[in-house]
Amino acid sequence: MSVEQTIERVKRMVDESSKIAILLGVGTFIESGGENIWSSRECYRLEEKYNKTPDEMISVEFYSARRDKFFEFYKNEILLDDLEPCSLYYDIKKLQDTGKVRTVITQNTDGLHNKAGIRDVIELHGNINNNWCPRCHRNYEAQYLKNAKAVPLCEDCNTSIRPGVRLFGENIANNLMTQAVNACEGADLILALGTNMYDNMVKFCTGTYTGDRLVLITKEEHYTDKFADIVIHDKVCNVLPKIFPTL
């Protein structure tokens, strides 16, 4: 089947569906200009700079033991304030407005989906704008943390603010996992965007999906691509306008 025919087929599937589950992987963040800190090049750069790997730094242990260093890394490498969502996010928002989307699930913590106005997103790894004070529970946006000189402290009670992203060593909340699995299980079409079938989120969320409409759209080829029902290798930004109804 040619690429054009595959795209036609997926377009028909979108037309026919009313309970679409959309999974957003790191590729959608990269298409918006983000750097993947898990790529080998970035891991190497960060290890050179901080003498630790990113997963060591974004961990419960490091957060507890070296909070100043944790926030140095977190502010410089995770809180990127100039990032804007690329067109794929706005295409998803428009599709969501038609009522066809049952759920959007992401492991990205960048908040780009919020900026584009996508609603009710299941954020498996949290959100950089969802920071809170563990003592008085006041919430803080990313910019507040970014502006803090060292460890960001709560304005009300001077307690150090807990970042809104999941740290290594912490579990994903059970209720979020259940919601994500249920949404995919009952979906009439799954669009996995900017990810691959080896990814934990994709494996986990689609594990109980028994349909034959799991469509993977991603720029990067991967040896597990064969586990998707349909694969389109291209940037997500390029593909969505071709498969979504003209809105």
Which residue from 84, 71, 104 is spatially nearest to 34, judged by alpha carbons? Answer: 84
Which residues, listed in sequence order, are joined to residue 190 by a DSSP beta bridge? 21, 214
Cβ–Cβ < 8 Å for 24, 32: no
Min CB(155)–Zn ion separation in Å: 8
Cβ–Cβ < 8 Å for 113, 121: yes
Q: How far is CA 157 from the centre of its chain?
A: 32
Interface with Zn ion (CB under 5 A), residue from 16, 61, 156, 170: 156
Token pair 């502006």 is at which residue? Answer: 147
Min CB(162)–Zn ion separation in Å: 10
Site for Zn ion in 82-141 (CB under 5 A): 133, 135-136, 138
Interface with Zn ion (CB under 5 A), residue from 154, 183, 190, 202: 154
Interface with Zn ion (CB under 5 A), residue from 157, 178, 203, 234: 157
Q: 69 or 135: whose CB is closer to Zn ion?
A: 135
Query: Is residue 51 left, alpha or beta, with left meaning phi > 0 and alpha meaning psi from -120 to 50?
Result: left
Min CB(136)–Zn ion separation in Å: 3
Min CB(156)–Zn ion separation in Å: 4
- Alpha-carbon separation of residue 21 from 7, 97, 130, 134, 220 (angstroms): 18, 14, 24, 33, 21
Tokens of 30: 């990269």
Q: 15 or 156: whose CB is closer to Zn ion?
A: 156
Q: 120 or 141: whose CB is closer to Zn ion?
A: 141
Stretch that binds Zn ion, among 84-92, 159-167, 185-193, 225-233 (CB under 5 A): 159-167
Q: 85 or 164: whose CB is closer to Zn ion?
A: 164
Q: 39 or 159: whose CB is closer to Zn ion?
A: 159
Q: How far apart are the first and last CA of the chain?
A: 27
Angle at 191 between CA 164 and CA 20, to 5 degrees: 90
Tokens of 206: 């689609």
Min CB(142)–Zn ion separation in Å: 17
- Cα–Cα distance, 226 to 230 (Å, whole number): 8
Q: 113 or 162: whose CB is closer to Zn ion?
A: 162
Min CB(66)–Zn ion separation in Å: 22
Min CB(125)–Zn ion separation in Å: 24
Q: 18 or 159: whose CB is closer to Zn ion?
A: 159
DSSP-derived secondary structure letter, 128: T
- Judged by the rule CB under 5 A, the positions of this chain that interact with Zn ion are 133, 135-136, 138, 154, 156-157, 159
